[in-house]
Amino acid sequence: MAISTTALHPQFRPPLRAPGRHRLLPHSSYSSFARARPRTTIRASAASASAPAQREAVAGLPWGCEIESLESAALLERWLIDSGLPEQRLAIQRVDVGERGLVALKNIRKGEKLLFVPPSLVITADSEWSRPEVGEVMKRNAVPDWPLIATYLISEASLEGSSRWSSYIAALPRQPYSLLYWTRAELDTYLVASPIRERAIQRITDVIGTYNDLRDRIFSKHSDLFPEEVYNIETFLWSFGILFSRLVRLPSMDGRVALVPWADMLNHSPEVETFLDFDKSSQGIVFTTDRSYQPGEQVFISYGKKSSGELLLSYGFIPKEGTNPNDSVELLVALDKSDKCYKEKLQALKRNGLSASESFPLRVTGWPVELMVYAFLVVSPPDMSQRFEEMAVAASNKNSTKPGFNYPELEEQALQFILDCCESNISKYSKYLEGGNGSPQVSINAKQANRTLLLKQLAKDLCISERRILYRTQYILRRRLRNMRGGELRALSLFNGLRKLFK
């Protein structure tokens, strides 16, 4: 949960490319950015009517490149090799999956280690600042790693050619298509049916809150070191967008977060599980292939077991429909305020960290036991009030033993409740998909028109993917309810037959 504070949260850890076994904590498990204080004003709010102008400003940043630029990528490769990157078996090319990617130059076997990026070419919270006085102020104020690296990136970018990272920064996208760069009007129009819209709005709000906090605590007190024309909300949206899409956590370096030039040109595939890490024997950042590659074939890593919505949120792309085995959609369920036991149920939920409405992930393979238990609580009658607490505990996932909670007398009602929620969500997706996917009212030039077409297609692909999961869940629920009710009818028919026989 985001907090209102004058200090940056010490455990600032938004989602990033997954290390280790490629598992990310749930979104709610990450400590959030410090939220903006109401009295604070900024030049442009990502959630305000002036957001389109803000996005134009981001697009007009003096650094970075167009997302598909190969020229800047080639210059980056040349600089990296001159700076100590070993000879590579991969090359940057324009690819089908992603705008740019790393492609095999030779046959690559399964189990080979690739890249070997030396630590001297990696950006971390300990990297040397080209302007040491700026870095000293940031570290003196104990700024956590994420906002520290975001500020470092802006500081180095503002120096342009005089920064040692100029070739890397020039190869970074000026405006990726992650949801951080969508205007509020675009989010409200294109993602009206998807739960990922709220996640995107919260992320933008959190970035603005973090910027406001840095500005009030540090930048305004050292305006000679942090001029507003360089350190502003537009540049922070850019730098945080880079971090969300490129920062990795390296397990073998005590979980340190880092930007790894060259390695961050690798694209994601849900079909692989390999990840970046520090290799102590070679003293470089590597990954180990978990499949073979032919010359000219794009090489992939995993960004973690993410849903299509999460991939759009941070990276700006949607996998082809049906290709993401980790796909899911959040289903919002809520207590009925007209329930006679509403207050008692709500109190039980609050005691266990839950609220009157909660979201649970639906997957093609099914739904979590916590959703079923929450549904049991929603439909339970007053004479089961003594069970409310155990239901709330199970729904909150606090019970580590995870016993098979089951209330046979409530199962049909609980399944019907979940089905009703699914069908309500399906109708929202269908209304959007069949309604022409309208466009926000803004002036359109050729570049904006191309952007609008792309965003509409991304939103459409996401909605189709999420609705597909809801349809699958609907089918399973209907079948189970039909079987249950069919069994009841057969039992009733048998009972009536026996009663007639005995009469």
| Binding-site residues from annotation for substrate | 246, 264, 303, 315
227: DSSP letter? -
- Cα 63 from Cα 235, distance rounded (Å): 10
- Cα 213 from Cα 240, distance rounded (Å): 15
Cα–chain-centroid distance for residue 378? Answer: 29
CB-based contacts of 26: which residues, under 8 Å, 6+ apart? none
Segment holding 5, helix H or strand E: none
CB-based contacts of 344: which residues, under 8 Å, 6+ apart? 385, 388
State the virtual CA torsion across 88, 92, 98, 104 in degrees, nearest 10: -50
- The amino acid that residue 276 corresponds to is L
Known binding-site positions = 246, 264, 267-268, 303, 315
Calculate the alpha carbon distances from 266 to 95, 320, 325 in Å: 11, 18, 20
Known binding-site positions for S-adenosyl-L-methionine = 246, 267-268
Q: Which of 182, 229, 228, 176 is CA-nearest to residue 203?
A: 182
CB atoms within 10 A of CB 368: 15
Asked whether 333 and 357 are in contact (CB, 8 A), the reply is yes
Write out the E strands in 297-424: 300-301, 328-334, 357-363
Asked whether 312 and 329 are in contact (CB, 8 A), the reply is no
Axis-axis angle for helices 388-395, 369-379 (nearest 10): 150
Asked whether 219 and 154 are in contact (CB, 8 A), the reply is no
Asked whether 301 and 274 are in contact (CB, 8 A), the reply is yes
- Cα 251 from Cα 228, distance rounded (Å): 36
CB atoms within 10 A of CB 381: 12
Tokens found for residue 128: 């040397």
Q: Which of 154, 160, 172, 170 is CA-nearest to residue 215?
A: 154
Tokens found for residue 453: 């077409």
